[in-house]
Amino acid sequence: MMAEEKFQLLVVSDLDGTLLDHHDYSFEEVLPVLDRLDENGIPLVINTSKTRAEWLAMRGQFGNLDPFVVENGSAIYDGNEVQVFGLPRAEILEKLKPLRGLYKYQGYSDVSLTEIMEWTGLGRQEAERSADRHFSEPLMWQDTAEREEEFCQKIEERGLMTLRGGRFLHVLGKTDKGKPLEHLREDKVAIIALGDRQNDLAMLEAADIGVVIATDDDFFLEADDVLRSSESGPRGWAQMMTKILDQLNIPPRQLDHG
């Protein structure tokens, strides 16, 4: 970047394991950094495998009203407007039907809300929001890893794709978390993207600054030309964002919100 050129910064971030703790969904560590973004007019676009309903219920806690991307790059919501990059869920379920008896797995649409609660550790209301899907079907894979690979190939032959998220194998239309970034990218916008898993890779690659947030298991995300946090989850997010904002001479937080 040329020193005299003014770039509008845009932060795009994964939620689970990145902005939110993977285990207890906590996020206190990021709040001072969110205030700093706010005070400097820098939008934070959430780019998540979660649903619209989940993020709408949650975003008040972050004081965030910016556009957001749901279901692994399937759609971006901006006020009353929505742009779809993926496929409607009904179409996905229809295409899955012929594979139903061939592999051992259970999708959200196969089980009760109670089971979804067990899988995710979410309460009833949160599980309902998680099940309110429009563009993807999360599967709990119960077959071998080898057969998972074979299944994924068959999915692609049907014009769909799969993504490994934290807990689920997501079946969705041919999109990824990187696609909406092309839509968000305008002249003189520099995008910082943060994520922790394989489904974040396309987003990190589409950004100007990609940041891999460390995980607290032995997973290592292979990615070139990225920054890496030493801490995991929200602590790593706050650590890396503070470092980047300092380096870009973005003023620190002025207001004390108590």
> Which residues of the shown chain bind Mg ion in the complex (CB under 5 A)?
14, 16-17, 196-197
Q: Are 32 and 238 in contact (CB under 8 A)?
A: yes
Q: Which two tokens stand for residue 93?
A: 């379920």
Tell me the residue type at 130: S
What number of other Cβ atoms are within 10 A of residue 246's Cβ?
Answer: 11
Closest CB 109 distance from Mg ion, rounded Å: 23
Closest CB 195 distance from Mg ion, rounded Å: 6
Residues 6+ apart with CB under 8 A from 135: 70, 71, 74, 75, 84, 86, 87, 88, 89, 92, 172, 173
Q: Which residue is nearest to Mg ion (CB)?
A: 17
Closest CB 238 distance from Mg ion, rounded Å: 16
Nearer to Mg ion, 54 or 196 (CB): 196
Match 């949650």 to its residue by tokens.
58
Nearer to Mg ion, 96 or 126 (CB): 126
Torsion, Cα of 203, 209, 210, 215 (10° steps) = -140
Closest CB 240 distance from Mg ion, rounded Å: 15
Nearer to Mg ion, 23 or 188 (CB): 23
Nearer to Mg ion, 16 or 148 (CB): 16
Match 């194998």 to its residue by tokens.
169
Closest CB 22 distance from Mg ion, rounded Å: 7
Nearer to Mg ion, 96 or 207 (CB): 207
